[in-house]
A = this chain, B = another copy of it.
Amino acid sequence: MTPWIECVPNFSEGRRPDVIEAIVAPFRSKRGCALLDYRADANHNRLVVSLAGNPEPIQEALLEAAKVAVAHIDMNQHQGAHPRIGAVDVIPFVPLRHMSMDECVALAHAFGTRYHEETGIPVYFYEEAALRPERSRLEVIRHGQYEGLKAAISNPDRHPDVGEPRLHATAGATVIGARKFLVAFNVNLGTSDVRIAKEIAKAVRASSGGLCHVKGIGLALEDRGLVQVSLNVVDYEKNALYRVTELIRMEAKRWGVPVVETEVYGMVPAAALLESAAYYLQISGFSPDQVIEFKMLEMLGNNTP
């Protein structure tokens, strides 16, 4: 089975349209690499690209795009509101189908080595691909940003995971890693009492003892007279959306408050929703192989003439 991954590379360029288009171009033309979306933010001076497809073409396109970024971006001139340490700042690989997290970590490590060989840029590994425990957190690696890391990189505890302990002269360093797909999910409640949303957020999120792979806060939607439990589900396989939703519904009953609606923000893997359909419809023995679109993706992926 051909594996499918998502990849969300972040580049430190959000202002020059010609450079942005030149960086994105390799992602458009590569068979087996689908450019889902790209967004440049001038204030952040940053470009976020969303890709999905097979690991090989995605890696090829990443190397081409990185070389364009290195040719056009000088971190010594770069300014922007978003923390960054390099022209190619972060490259997370996300397993979608027919790939385990261990395989995705191996992919990140192999790509990081090749990336360094071809660009000369030092590499740090983060999240699931971290080789030092503290580096699982991106903010630890990016501490002090490009300007601070220039000197700090010679400190052994800031040495890169691949490459010599010095930044690339113009492109800085790159953080490469593997992580799960993150689903942004909001639950809107029929009350204007924000304390209820905050209490429920506390009940369901990991940081206060709730579900291990859920982050969340309670906030008011003042113009609508509602409140929202705003969530990131960082592992939708372990904390399914139906479980999160029904847990919130159950907690809200304490105050006689209904779930008015939910929102899925941005992209979502079909599996995250199919699992909930299978739960509520009580489908027994359901297999993703029964889903036409999954089968089409596999067949089209393999059908190289």
B-binding residues in A (CB < 8 A): 4, 6, 28-36, 52-53, 96, 188, 241-242, 245, 259-264, 266-270, 273-274, 276-278, 280-286, 290-301, 303-305
Report which residue of A33, A269, A281, A305 has the largest number of chain B beta carbons within 10 angstroms of its beta carbon.
A281
Known: A281-B276, A284-B262. A300 touches B32 (CB 8 A): yes
**A31 partner, pick from B296, B297, B305, beta carbons under 8 A:** B305
Asked if B297 and A297 make an inter-chain contact with CB atoms under 8 angstroms apart, the answer reads yes
- In Å, the complex CA distance between A31 and B296 comes to 11
**A292 partner, pick from B32, B36, B282, beta carbons under 8 A:** B36
- In Å, the complex CA distance between A269 and B290 comes to 8
Asked if B296 and A52 make an inter-chain contact with CB atoms under 8 angstroms apart, the answer reads yes
Q: How many copies does the complex hold?
A: 2
- In Å, the complex CA distance between A283 and B260 comes to 10
Asked if B273 and A278 make an inter-chain contact with CB atoms under 8 angstroms apart, the answer reads yes
User: Could you name 5 residue pairs across A and B whose Cβ atoms are closer than 8 Å?
Assistant: A36-B292, A36-B295, A260-B282, A261-B282, A268-B291
By DSSP majority rule, is chain A's interface helix, strand, loop, or mixed? Answer: mixed
A261 proximity list for chain B (CB < 8 A): 282-284
Residue of B whose beta carbon sits closest to that of A259: B282
List 4 other contacts, CB 8 Å, given A264-B283, A266-B290. A242-B280, A261-B284, A267-B290, A270-B292
Residue of B whose beta carbon sits closest to that of A289: B267
Asked if A30 and B303 make an inter-chain contact with CB atoms under 8 angstroms apart, the answer reads yes
Known: A30-B303, A286-B264, A303-B31. A293 touches B281 (CB 8 A): no
- In Å, the complex CA distance between A52 and B293 comes to 9
Asked if B290 and A268 make an inter-chain contact with CB atoms under 8 angstroms apart, the answer reads yes
- In Å, the complex CA distance between A32 and B299 comes to 9
Asked if B296 and A297 make an inter-chain contact with CB atoms under 8 angstroms apart, the answer reads yes
- In Å, the complex CA distance between A198 and B224 comes to 47
Residue of B whose beta carbon sits closest to that of A305: B31
**A280 partner, pick from B6, B280, B283, B291, beta carbons under 8 A:** B280
A285 proximity list for chain B (CB < 8 A): 263
- In Å, the complex CA distance between A266 and B296 comes to 15
Q: How far is the CB of A95 from chain B (nearest CB, A)?
A: 12
